[in-house]
C-alpha cells in the first residue's frame, strides 16, 4: 500500500495488498466519504462568489453600481432578452432541490442537499464553463407534506435571474409534475438531471456497449431494476432512440410494470410510470428469474448494494450480457462480482471503476449548449443528441468492454456535446439565437479554459489552500479500520 497524495491517482493502492476485491471496494467508499467530510469542513464548502469585472479606480463603483447601472435596468426593462448579455444570466444556472431524494441517502432535509448542489455547481464551472448556484428549498406545506407546487412556484419566481434551471434530488412522484410543468411554463430550460441527465448518459453508454458486443438496439431485451425518476426516463429515452418497448420489463418495489398494475393507474401522480405500463412487458412477466433469463441488458438504478443485484441473475442473461449498476454511493453489484457471474460489460456511476456512466459527463455540456443559443427548453431530442455525441466521441478514441464512455478529463467531449445540443435546439425551434456548430464548440472550449486557468491561478497563489495530507491519511486509516 502507498501513502495518499493530493492527486488521488490510484485509490486501490491505498489499501493493504491482502485486502480482497470486496474489501478494497468497501474501503474506497469509506475513504471517499471520510475525505469528503474533512475536506468540506476544511474549506467551508466548495463554492464562492467572485466578481468577473475589474475595479480600476474608485469611480468604477459608479459604473458597476449607481448611477451608471440605471442604463442596464432600463434597457432590460424595455427588452428582457438583453438580460442575457448585460448580466451573467446567460451563463447562470440555478441548481434547485428540496433534498428529498439525495443520492442513496433519501430525504436529508432541505439544507441536507447543499453539498450535492454545490458539487453540481462546481462541476458545471470546471467541466462546462457554466456558473451555478445551489438553491435548496423547503417544499413542506401546512400539512407537513412535500408539495410539488411550492417548488414550481419558487422556480417561476426565480426564473428572471437565470438562464437555465437544473432540478436535482426531488423524490417521485413530485419530480414528474415539477419537471413537466416547468418545462412547458418557463421560457428558459428546466432540466431534471436525475431524470433526463441520467437518461442521456445511460443511453450513451448503452449505444457503445451494444457497439462493442455487436447487438442492435431495436432487437435487445432490456430489464430495468428500479422504477424511479431515473429509470423511467432512461426507458423513455431508450425507446425514443429506437428500442422495442415490448422487449422491456421494468421492476419497481412491488413487482413489474404492466397493464394490470391498477395501483399505478389509480394514482395520477405516477403518470410517467403508467405510460410505461402501457408500453412494456406485454406478457405481464412478474418474476425476476423469468424476466432476466436471456436478457441482453440489465439497467439497475435502485437500492445501493452490494448484492441488490444477485450474481445468479446475471448468470441467466444472454451471452455478452451488459450490466449497468448505477446506484450511488455503492452499485447494486460490484463490477468484479458481475464479471465473475458472466457479464461482458459492466458500468457503474463511480469514477473509481471502469465505465463510469455518470451525469457529470452530460449536464455541463448539455446546459452549456442550451445556454449559448439561449434555448427556451431542453427537448428529449436534445438529450438524445447529447447521448450520441458522448458515444461517438468515445468511439473515435476507441471503445472496448472496459471503455464505453468518455472520461471527465477529456475536455473536448463537453464542447462537442454543447455544440451538438445547440444545433439540435435550433432544429427543434427552441433557440432564441442561432450559432454554428463551430461557434458553440469554440465558445465552450474558451469558457472551460478560462474557468480552469482561473482556478489554477487561485491554487498556485494560495487563495485556494492545499489540504494537509494528514486529512487524507486519516481518511485512509478510518477506511482500513472500518473494513478489517
Catalytic residues: 65, 120
Contacts of 91 (CB under 8 A, 6+ apart): 129, 130, 131, 163, 371, 447
Which runs of consecutive H residues, i.e. helices, occur in 318-411? 335-340, 363-372, 380-397
Distance between CA atoms of 102 and 86, rounded to whole angstroms?
A: 35
Using CA atoms, how far residue 462 sits from 47, 109, 172, 213, 465, in Å, is 16, 34, 43, 49, 5
How many CB atoms within 10 Å of residue 85? 12
Alpha carbon separation from 272 to 53, 158, 264, 398, 481 (Å, rounded): 45, 27, 10, 36, 44
146 forms beta bridges with: 140
Nearest-CA neighbor of 246 among 258, 231, 233?
A: 258
Lookup result for grid cell 414528474:
176
C-alpha 369/C-alpha 414 separation (Å) is: 9
* CB-based contact 120:166 (threshold 8 Å): yes
Residue 259 CB-density burial (10 A; 0-12 exposed, 13-18 middle, 19+ buried): middle
Q: Classify residue 359 by burial, with Cβ atoms within 10 Å: 0-12, 13-18, 19+.
A: buried
Q: How many CB atoms lie within 10 A of CB 36?
A: 14
ω into 67 cis (within 30 of 0)? yes
- Cβ contact 136:207 at 8 Å: no
| CA 199, chain centre distance (Å) | 9
| Unique residue bearing C-alpha cell 467508499 | 29
Amino acid at each position: 500500500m502507498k501513502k495518499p497524495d493530493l492527486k488521488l491517482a490510484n485509490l486501490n493502492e491505498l489499501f493493504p495488498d491482502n485486502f480482497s476485491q470486496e474489501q478494497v471496494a468497501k474501503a474506497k467508499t469509506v475513504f471517499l466519504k471520510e475525505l469528503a467530510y474533512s475536506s468540506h469542513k476544511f474549506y467551508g464548502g466548495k463554492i464562492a462568489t467572485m466578481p468577473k469585472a475589474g475595479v480600476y479606480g474608485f469611480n468604477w463603483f459608479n459604473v458597476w453600481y449607481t448611477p451608471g447601472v440605471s442604463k442596464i435596468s432600463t434597457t432590460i426593462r424595455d427588452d428582457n432578452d438583453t438580460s442575457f448579455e448585460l448580466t451573467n444570466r446567460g451563463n447562470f444556472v440555478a441548481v434547485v432541490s428540496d433534498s428529498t431524494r439525495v443520492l442513496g441517502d433519501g430525504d436529508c432535509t432541505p439544507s441536507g442537499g447543499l453539498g450535492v448542489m454545490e458539487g453540481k455547481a462546481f462541476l458545471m464551472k470546471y467541466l462546462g464553463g457554466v456558473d451555478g448556484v445551489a438553491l435548496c428549498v423547503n417544499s413542506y406545506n401546512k400539512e407537513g407534506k412535500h408539495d410539488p407546487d411550492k417548488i414550481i412556484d419558487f422556480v417561476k419566481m426565480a426564473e428572471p435571474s437565470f438562464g437555465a434551471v437544473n432540478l436535482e434530488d426531488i423524490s417521485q412522484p413530485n419530480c414528474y409534475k415539477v419537471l413537466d410543468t416547468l418545462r412547458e411554463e418557463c421560457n428558459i430550460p428546466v432540466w431534471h438531471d436525475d431524470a433526463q441527465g441520467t437518461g442521456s448518459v445511460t443511453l450513451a453508454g448503452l449505444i457503445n456497449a451494444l457497439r462493442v458486443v455487436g447487438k442492435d438496439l431495436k432487437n435487445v431485451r432490456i430489464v430495468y431494476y428500479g422504477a424511479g425518476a431515473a429509470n423511467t426516463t432512461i426507458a423513455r429515452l431508450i425507446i425514443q432512440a429506437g428500442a422495442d418497448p415490448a422487449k422491456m420489463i421494468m421492476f419497481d418495489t412491488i413487482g413489474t410494470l404492466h397493464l394490470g398494475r391498477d395501483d399505478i393507474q389509480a394514482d395520477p401522480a405516477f403518470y410517467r410510470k403508467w405510460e410505461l405500463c402501457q408500453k412494456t412487458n406485454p406478457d405481464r412477466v412478474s418474476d425476476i428469474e423469468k424476466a432476466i433469463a436471456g436478457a441482453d441488458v440489465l439497467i439497475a438504478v435502485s437500492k445501493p448494494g452490494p448484492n441488490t443485484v444477485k450474481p445468479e441473475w446475471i448468470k441467466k442473461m444472454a451471452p455478452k450480457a451488459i450490466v449497468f449498476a448505477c446506484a450511488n454511493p455503492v452499485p447494486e453489484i460490484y463490477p468484479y462480482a458481475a464479471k465473475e457471474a458472466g457479464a461482458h460489460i459492466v458500468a457503474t456511476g463511480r469514477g473509481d471503476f471502469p465505465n463510469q456512466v455518470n451525469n457529470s459527463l452530460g449536464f455541463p455540456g448539455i446546459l452549456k449548449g442550451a445556454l449559448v443559443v439561449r434555448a427556451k427548453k431542453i427537448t428529449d431530442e436534445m438529450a438524445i443528441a447529447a447521448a450520441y455525441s458522448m458515444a461517438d466521441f468515445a468511439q473515435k478514441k476507441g471503445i472496448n468492454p472496459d471503455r464505453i464512455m468518455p472520461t471527465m478529463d477529456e475536455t473536448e467531449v463537453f464542447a462537442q456535446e454543447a455544440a451538438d445540443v445547440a444545433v439540435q435546439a435550433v432544429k427543434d425551434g427552441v433557440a432564441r439565437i442561432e450559432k454554428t456548430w463551430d461557434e458553440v464548440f469554440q465558445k465552450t472550449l474558451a469558457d472551460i479554459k478560462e474557468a480552469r486557468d482561473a482556478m489554477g491561478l487561485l491554487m498556485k497563489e494560495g487563495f485556494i489552500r492545499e489540504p494537509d495530507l494528514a486529512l487524507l491519511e486519516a481518511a485512509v486509516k478510518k477506511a482500513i479500520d472500518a473494513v478489517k
